Structure 1
Amino acid sequence: MISEQTSADRSGAIFRPVTAADLDLICRHRHEMFKASGRTDAIVQPSTDAFKEWLKPRLDDGSYFGWFALVDGIEVAGLGMMVIDWPPHPSHPLQARRGYILNVFVEPFCRGQGFARALMEIAVEEAKRRSLQYLILHATAMATPMYEKLGWNRTSEMSITLPVHP
């Protein structure tokens, strides 16, 4: 079970699990995360609206979980996590699943204070508790150095966006 509250070490924050009541906050964090990576509101808003509809049932059933860092009772950082179905792979040859970390966001006035690092440590502990062998995430340029310091490696993933025809 995900711990109810844990005190942070050097950040001084209190950490709590996300709940279904956090739907709007998670969506705001995700929206701001994409804006911080260089996208405009006009580009991000359609995906934010669709993400909110996608997220609600996953918060309700617990398939999307995560944590917030709170300072003086205010959520200043967050991280989401899922266990996703994935075929066995050379990186995890005996498991048909991966841990997926998403929506890592720290409010601009709190960046560089260790909140994202502490949230990542909580996520890794949860992955170990769930016996997950392999974790993935998509990193922004801003966050890549932190992930590398935490032992994460770049992968060879590529993508393509195809037109949708209704």
Structure 2
Amino acid sequence: MLLLNATYEPLTTLPLRRAVCLVLREKAEVVHHDSAGACLHSATMTIDVPSVIRLRRYVRIPFRTRVPLTRAALMRRDNYRCVYCGRRAETIDHVQPRSRGGKHTWENCVASCMTCNHSKADRLLEELGWTLPVAPAVPRGAHWRLIGVIHDGDPQWAAYVSEPAA
């Protein structure tokens, strides 16, 4: 389920159980129902499964200066592709190996396939003659709060979640 703020800005995704609880406690309202027409039944009521819900009261989200570095966010930034060969990425590689003083930061981490990660090992790109097509950088923008929403989301969410052009 996609959760929207009172201003219709996307906040996050949440499990069905949490979404239904928010709706039943009247803290949120249903904006769109499940496109498959699924229903939940209890002894006394039946409700349509929501796909998008909106909070009734505005929730202030603190401004973050930097997007947290997570595996999901890094894979999304690199489009689930190995930066070295372009195949499907399975691991995270440190451009400057941690054994050589490299930090675990956005600017030093890239998505990599298992083969390239093992081939590179703890060597520098210059030692292998490899280059990066694009320098790794910190992702910017509010849409990074919704990791996975854009990639795996319900088509009904498209009106509320729009990924800015890169």
TM-score, normalised to structure 2, is: 0.27
Q: Rg larger in 1 or in 2? A: 2
- Bigger helix share: 1
TM-score, normalised to structure 1, is: 0.27
